[in-house]
Amino acid sequence: MNRFEKSFSALKQNNKKAFIPYIMAGDGGLENLVERLTALEKFGATAIEVGVPFSDPVADGPTIQAAGLRALENGTTLRGIVKEIEKARRVVSIPIILMTYLNPIYSYGIPEFVRDIQIAGVDGCIIPDLPMEEEEIITPALESAEVELIRLVTLTTPLERIKTISSKGRGFLYTVTVKGITGVRNEYDSELSQFLTSVKEVSAIPVMAGFGISNKEQIEDITKYCDGVIVGSKIVDLFEQGRLSEMEDLMSVVKQESKVL
């Protein structure tokens, strides 16, 4: 089993849900990345999504866009991030996911990128602007390196396509909970619970819900219908504001036994 399978298997055995925090590498200084990854694992993260700053982040909302700009102003590069993740892997045991767009990967060079993230101990990649029909440009290299491509589905993705997408990996299925970009939300589409239930029924791998999740009530509600949550903008805000105790408290929700499997 890879790290994803081990982590999700342990959660299932203990009747618990997953919590995957997102952070922007280089926000607050790239030299702080190892410390932040270590803190998130200590707080109880199932895995960690590490964002790569990019000048045209089409899937990111205002909070993550601002974090990306701060990171770019700090001189953060994809190569620098990979080197820091390699350092972190000496002390961090949970899965690490790199979230980046295609342009930085092309600039790096696909073979070199895959080689270096494998050496660094990256477990998976999220590439929001890579459609399923074009993923062959990188999936053979990722599969050879045993790095999972984490694929996304949305509220408008047909269930048959979701079934096909979920059959392709051994990580998890990233289910986008809103029609739009990332960012804190107070309300969700009334059809979300049914959508997540339907996705869970057809998915061959764990279903994670992400985009806009920011408080305990949302986490408790959404995890009734899926395997866990991904929280980004709220985590980015809490790191920037130095409110780490609130972060740990937020993540404590999934440490309890699940009310619904």
Which active-site residues does the annotation give? 49, 60
Residue in 23, 159, 129 with CA at minimum distance from that of residue 81? 23
As a 3-state breakdown, the chain gives helix, strand, coil percent values, each rounded to 5, of: 50, 15, 40
Neighbours of 42 (CB within 10 A): 11
Q: Name the 3-class secondary structure at 222.
A: helix
Neighbours of 200 (CB within 10 A): 17
**Assigned token pair, 40:** 């998130």
Q: In angstroms, rounded to a whole number, what is the distance separating the alpha carbons of residues 232 and 22?
A: 4
227 strand-pairing partners: none
